[in-house]
Amino acid sequence: MAVSAALALAGCGGGGSDEADPTVAPAAEPAGLGSADSAPLPPTTAYVDSGATNSRSNPCNVTLDTNAGVRVLQGFLDVWTPSSLVVDAGVTLAAANGCNAVTASTWTGIPGDTTDGAVKNATVHAANIDYVKTVTKARTAAQALAAYLDDRRGKGFSVSDGMGPLTSLWRTGAQQTSTIASVDATQPLATAVSDGGNNTGVGSATNTDLGLAVDFINNIADGSTEPPKRFYKYARPWRWSSDVKVVPALESAKSTTPATDGGFPSGHTAEAWRDTLAMAYLVPQRFQELVARAMEMGENRILAGMHSPLDVMGGRVHATAVVAYSLSNAAYYTTTVKAAAYRQAQNYLMGKAGAADFNALNTYAHTAKTSDTAQADYDRFADRAANKAAYQQRLTYGLARINTAGVAATVPKGAEVLLETRLPYLSAEQRRVVLKTTALDSGYPLGNDSEGWGRLNLFAAADGYGAFNGDVTVTMDAALGGFSATDSWRNDIAGKGRLSKAGTGTLRLAGANTFSGGALVTAGTLAADSTGALGAGDVYVKGGTLEAAAAGTVNIGGAYTQASGTLKLVMSSATNGSLKVGGNAVIVDGGLSIAFANGYKPAVGDTLTVLATTGQRGGRFAQVSVAGFSKVTTNYTANGVTVRLDGV
């Protein structure tokens, strides 16, 4: 019997176990907190308003207060005090624009020299260098190869493998090349060589496939890490300790001018982040995998022996601010330019993948094409749990807290643009709240910049809210396609607010949620893909569909009320996919629809549990349909509902 057979209606009553309906009053709609959460702008000069000051050529932009690139990394001053608080390492500038001349610092770049700075937090500094000692001593041949490739190849080419199954399509469409595309891992690495490829690809002047996308990536503002490097004047790890083992093939790439070769922040890491965030904007189907790839670039800089954890953390923070500045600034990207590049990237990839729409491309982008790890389309980021764990660890690298924990996050002005295509159905303010509720906890190194860039967790933010600290209304328009048609939030959502699902699209919840303000469904679909998806409060279906599709019983902490709309169960056993209600369950009106997950094939005579409540059950469904069965009997008891399958 095919479970895809047409749905059929059956009477609501009948059955020997049918009981008279108790008189049970339906619960009121969940009240929630009565107001929405917000993420006020920080009371400080914003990078998105002052990014042009990230320069080392203007004497007016050489201090913490006057250089945005320096200021965004000010948390580093909790660890290290540079020999001078000026952008002056190897920098000499004549007086100009009413500002004094800058004389080159006497910093030699050699730790312990009399012109060196001072360690402010010995514990964190020691752990920072010790991490590099440990991983470079234990480095495998495969890790050395990966570190070599990320050092030598164009960064845009290198990180494009974060596209996974889309990598070949992307590289072909972008006309992206590298002369160091691969190296035989079984052979000893040669000396460092330069990449003769074109890095990000060919622009729109001669490339009609992905030229606008390449232009988009290349047009990110000047994100040079040189201004902060020359301000903070912090040596590379192999200069701090001879126990740091640089990849042998990269020995020839080591700078011989330490006075202009600061390690903090990492330039390679920053470039990788700028490229991957631009790619993630254009291909949000791979958002998390791409930011995980940027994190991997940072790890490979450490494995190479070229940088420390704080260096690569600084590169990430700096680049995130630069990309938000660029995407928020009409001088770089107008709404039309962003839309055209996004549309070209999506249309090209859909066409080449044979995908009918955004969501079909999303499926293609997460379907393995090869098990050969040497192939470009091999998806090294297919394991989401592993990506999440690595990302979380690399946010701090286990470095000790140096400031107070538990301080509410501040969200930088303009940071919400980074989620513009990943969460397109949310307002800009809602995306800011997502960033606030998913931010790294306070107190870690680089986490106390005045704007909040150091605490952003973009991997978590791509999975929606971390907490409902106010009431949240999600309005999705399925006609817009993409994530506006269907999306999944996989965070464990806390808080006391209420979730209201409106609009025609589908929002799926997959976390172990504890939010207590309740859930209200007025239109579209709210789907529970985990047993704890619906939180600890009441659930009220006023319209649309509540879908239970977990691999177990979906728990409702409070009451369940169905005033209208549909309860849809996607069952994988006679009980999995059913509702377990902590309060009363009252069906005023509306229907019940039962479908079956792949692999589960119930038989005539089987009885399915629809819902069970620890309170009382009241009311009946106006109509009941079960996939593949034309005859069913719906049985109502004082504490639940079951459906017996009588015939096909």
Domain boundaries, the chain: 7-32+470-647, 47-401
**Rounded CA separation 562/547 (Å):** 12
Decide if pLDDT at 23 tops 90.
no
How do beta strands 623-627 and 7-10 pair?
Answer: antiparallel
Beta bridge partner(s), residue 381: none
**Residue-level pLDDT at 8:** 36
> Do 569 and 578 form a contact (C-beta atoms < 8 A)?
yes
Q: What is the DSSP string of 34-88?
A: SS----PPPSS--HHHHGGG--SS-TTS-STTT-HHHHTTGGGGGTEE-SSSSS-
Neighbours of 17 (CB within 10 A): 11
**Residue-level pLDDT at 10:** 37
Please name the residue ranges forming H helices in 583-648. Answer: none
Tokens of 16: 């020997």
pLDDT band at 22 (very low <50, low <70, confident <90, very high): confident
Topology, domain 47-401: Vanadium-containing Chloroperoxidase; domain 1 (1.20.144)
The average pLDDT across 573-578 equals 96
pLDDT band at 543 (very low <50, low <70, confident <90, very high): very high
pLDDT band at 186 (very low <50, low <70, confident <90, very high): low
Tokens of 53: 């000051």
pLDDT band at 181 (very low <50, low <70, confident <90, very high): confident
The average pLDDT across 382-388 equals 98
For all residues of the chain together, what is the average pLDDT? 95
**Residue-level pLDDT at 20:** 61
Buried b (16+ CB within 10 A) or exposed e, 315-341: bbbbbbbbbbbbbbbeebbeeeebebb
Q: For every residue of 294-336, which 3-state class applies, written as one string?
A: HHHHHHHHHHCCCCCHHHHHHHHHHHHHHHHHHHHCCCCCCHH
**Residue-level pLDDT at 21:** 75
**Rounded CA separation 562/552 (Å):** 21
pLDDT band at 18 (very low <50, low <70, confident <90, very high): low
Sequence-ordered list of residues with C-beta below 8 angstroms from that of 293, at least 6 positions apart, any chain:
159, 161, 162, 272, 276, 381
Decide if pLDDT at 601 tops 50.
yes
Whose CA is closest to 332, among 265, 266, 278, 411? 278
**Cα dist. 61→66, 120, 449 in Å?**
5, 25, 18
**Residue-level pLDDT at 19:** 57
Residue 547 is inside which H or E element, if any? strand 545-548
Give this prediction's pTM: 0.95
The average pLDDT across 32-41 equals 97
With vertex at residue 230, the alpha carbon angle to CA 224 and CA 233, rounded to the nearest 5 degrees, is 130
Neighbours of 644 (CB within 10 A): 20
Residue % of the chain over a pLDDT of 70: 96
**Residue-level pLDDT at 182:** 72
**Rounded CA separation 550/568 (Å):** 12
The average pLDDT across 470-491 equals 98
pLDDT band at 634 (very low <50, low <70, confident <90, very high): very high
